[in-house]
Amino acid sequence: MPQFIALPAFQDNYIWLLLDETTLQVAAVDPGDAQPVITWLSRHPEYQLCTILLTHHHPDHTGGVLTLKAATGCKVWGPTNDTIKGIDRPLEDGFQICLFEQEIQVLAVPGHTLDHIAYFCDHPSDPWLLSGDTLFAGGCGRLFEGSAEQMYASLQKLAALPDNTTIYCTHEYTQSNLQFARAVEPDNLDIKVRLEVVEDLRRDGRITLPTTLALEKRTNPFLRCEDSHVRGAAASHSGSMPASAVQTFAAIRAWKDTF
């Protein structure tokens, strides 16, 4: 298993570093800014950046790629999208890649963007997921390019992974996401307790990630669109009862956009 380190970037981004303690190689995930990675590498000269993994094309996830590639000679893997400069290996849904002798599955998860992919390692005891801006702790990404149907299907694909999957997403949105979740399900005790814990963490300036799929299924309204309480909340806010889980998702996603 690699070691995961979160490097803060911009206002609320995280650049995840995956460290292989055997080879002393590093993979960086969505480095929108090169400087945090370069600073970390300068403080840990025994490590070498070998790979960059990208989930989608937004600049806050790709802006540091060319600088890091020029400085280290690393290889860049990412979605098949000609607008992303510097990719050495374009990836598509179903591809299998090997990182630090671990097999990683590429999952297409359109919705936030049309090119969005996630990376899943089905480790026997510690599966993990790099979810980018698709699945957040307590929430999900905005629909900038895809449809509600696409995003709901993408979230359902991720929800089908093992419950003990550790999820590494790329923004510190947990507190605001759970405040919304509490509005959707005010009687959900799991959300209440989780929000209290997260508020304590943020009060101390601490990170709220990673999360687990099991926890998300209990507290993330976007993974709970078949729950009667979530459907009821969507109906109360939109003025009509959604006819399907997809419609429930669309209603609460639109609600969250203005929350």
Question: Is 60 one of the annotated active-site residues of the chain?
Answer: yes
Catalytic entry in 20, 33, 58, 116: 58
Give the phi and the psi of residue 211 in degrees, each rounded to 5.
Answer: -125, -175
Peptide bond into 210 cis (omega under 30): yes
Residue 15: strand pairing partners? 7
Q: What SS3 class is residue 201?
A: helix
Q: Which domains does the chain have, with CATH numbers?
A: 3-216 (3.60.15.10)
Catalytic entry in 20, 30, 57, 61: 61
Question: Is 57 one of the annotated active-site residues of the chain?
Answer: no
Residue 13: strand pairing partners? 9, 171
Catalytic entry in 56, 57, 115, 116: 56
pLDDT tens digits for range 132-179: 999 999 999 999 999 999 999 999 999 999 999 999 999 999 999 999
Question: Is 123 one of the annotated active-site residues of the chain?
Answer: no
pLDDT of residue 91: 98
Straight-line distance from the first to the last Cα atom of the chain, in angstroms, rounded to the nearest whole number: 38
CA distances from 229 to 41, 112, 181, 221 (A): 48, 25, 11, 10
Residues that constitute the known binding site for Zn(2+): 56, 58, 60-61, 112, 133, 171
- Return the beta strands (E) in the chain as ranges: 3-9, 13-20, 25-29, 48-53, 75-79, 89-91, 96-99, 102-108, 117-121, 128-132, 135-136, 139-140, 166-169, 211-212
* Amino acid type, 114: L
Tokens 């936030």 correspond to what residue?
112
197's CB contacts (< 8 A; 6+ apart) are: none
Helix (H) or strand (E) holding 203: helix 189-203
Catalytic entry in 112, 115, 126, 227: 112
pLDDT tens digits for range 27-53: 999 999 999 999 999 999 999 999 999
Residue 201 predicted with pLDDT over 90: yes
Residues that constitute the known binding site: 56, 58, 60-61, 112, 133, 171
Question: Is 58 one of the annotated active-site residues of the chain?
Answer: yes
Is the pTM above the cut of 0.95?
Answer: yes
pLDDT of residue 143: 98
Which two tokens mark 173? Answer: 């949105």
pLDDT of residue 25: 98
108's CB contacts (< 8 A; 6+ apart) are: 92, 93, 94, 116, 117, 154
Question: Is 44 one of the annotated active-site residues of the chain?
Answer: no
| 185 touches 226 (CB < 8 A) | no
| 138 touches 219 (CB < 8 A) | yes
Question: Is 229 one of the annotated active-site residues of the chain?
Answer: no
Question: Is 171 one of the annotated active-site residues of the chain?
Answer: yes
Tokens 């609600």 correspond to what residue?
255
Distance, CA of 112 to CA of 114 (rounded, Å):
7
Q: To the nearest whole number, what is the mean pLDDT of the chain? A: 97
Tokens 């094309």 correspond to what residue?
57
Residue 1 predicted with pLDDT over 90: no
